[in-house]
Amino acid sequence: MAIKHPTAEQLELPSILSALGDSTRLAMIGRLADVAELSCGQFSELGSKTVLSYHMAKLREAGLIQVRAQSTRRFVSLRRAELDERFPGLLATIVPAAKAVETPRKVSEAPITPLARTDSYDWIVD
Amino acid sequence: MAIKHPTAEQLELPSILSALGDSTRLAMIGRLADVAELSCGQFSELGSKTVLSYHMAKLREAGLIQVRAQSTRRFVSLRRAELDERFPGLLATIVPAAKAVETPRKVSEAPITPLARTDSYDWIVD
DNA sequence: CGAGAAGTTCGACCGTCGTTGAACATTCGA
DNA sequence: TCGAATGTTCAACGACGGTCGAACTTCTCG
């Protein structure tokens, strides 16, 4: 665990983008987008408590969300202002697509990976 | 190696964002932004040939760049049109920050990681 | 042909990711 | 005070990511 909540100036694009490069976390952002706060439990259809805790930590350490405690609950919110200040347009661009991310739903439905075996150097265009 | 060049409809946000979640690759995008094409060699200050080849493959498989061959060279270009179509605003948002990404420059300058050891549960706000 | 330029691929290595289950912490109500 | 509710932490695991050096492929030019 590196950082608790980075300050606005500590936000780094690579970290933010890798934090968003996971469909579970993207789905979380999608759900936070038109709501002030959510408690962790309200993401339960995205995974187990442990998994959620893990992904929350990633989002928090990247600076995408704030976590507030109230009794035994954690209330999570998007750090919209700081993000818009440092990376204008980022949220606006990503949120619509994030809402459309299909729920990861377990490891089911692996569509028999095509595994298109190709010969060497054959991916070059032109 | 999964895909050679994904089609516009195959572009997936999580893959794109993880491809961008690396400072070397972000720097490459930054350099491609105001130029039609670059050959691989022109990124040489970002790393060795092997490393560049690896990162190029990532960017290509995520659908961010096109690679064209001409004799023994590879000419690389941003897939601007497709990206703007599927994720409007993404490039516009990311490119300015990508240009500002400091070059990874080896593993030098590790600033003696602060290693701020914190007690349990102490990262919660409020 | 042979040498060189420009990249790619391979195998190895090590570190980080994402998931799981079990144990722990904190708070509220009965 | 005991128990349930709500999360967090830990250790372990396999899979993937990024880097390196060595070997290879393709093409061009003497």
Ranking A60-64, A96-100, A104-108, B6-10 by mean pLDDT, the lowest is A104-108
Strand segments, DSSP code E, in A38-123 are 38-39, 65-70, 73-78
- Is any atom of nucleic acid chain C found less than 7 Å from the CB of residue B41? yes
- Backbone torsions φ then ψ of B49, nearest 5 degrees: -60, -45
* pLDDT at residue A37 in the model: 95
Q: Which of B68, B97, B124 sits opposite A13 (nearest CB)?
A: B97
> At residue A47, does pLDDT exceed 50?
yes
Would an 8 Å CB–CB cutoff place B35 in contact with chain A? Answer: no
Interface of A with B in 58-77 (CB under 8 A): 60, 66-70, 74
To the nearest whole Å, the CA of A47 is away from the closest chain B CA by: 18
> At residue B52, does pLDDT exceed 90?
yes
> At residue B109, does pLDDT exceed 60?
no
CA distance A102 to A25: 12
Average pLDDT over residues B72-99: 95
Closest by CA to B95, choosing from B41, B33, B37, B45, is B33
Average pLDDT over residues B59-83: 95
Would an 8 Å CB–CB cutoff place A19 in contact with chain B? Answer: yes
- Is any atom of nucleic acid chain C found less than 7 Å from the CB of residue B56? yes
Ranking A46-50, A62-66, B6-10 by mean pLDDT, the lowest is B6-10
* pLDDT at residue A122 in the model: 65
- Is any atom of nucleic acid chain C found less than 7 Å from the CB of residue B94? no
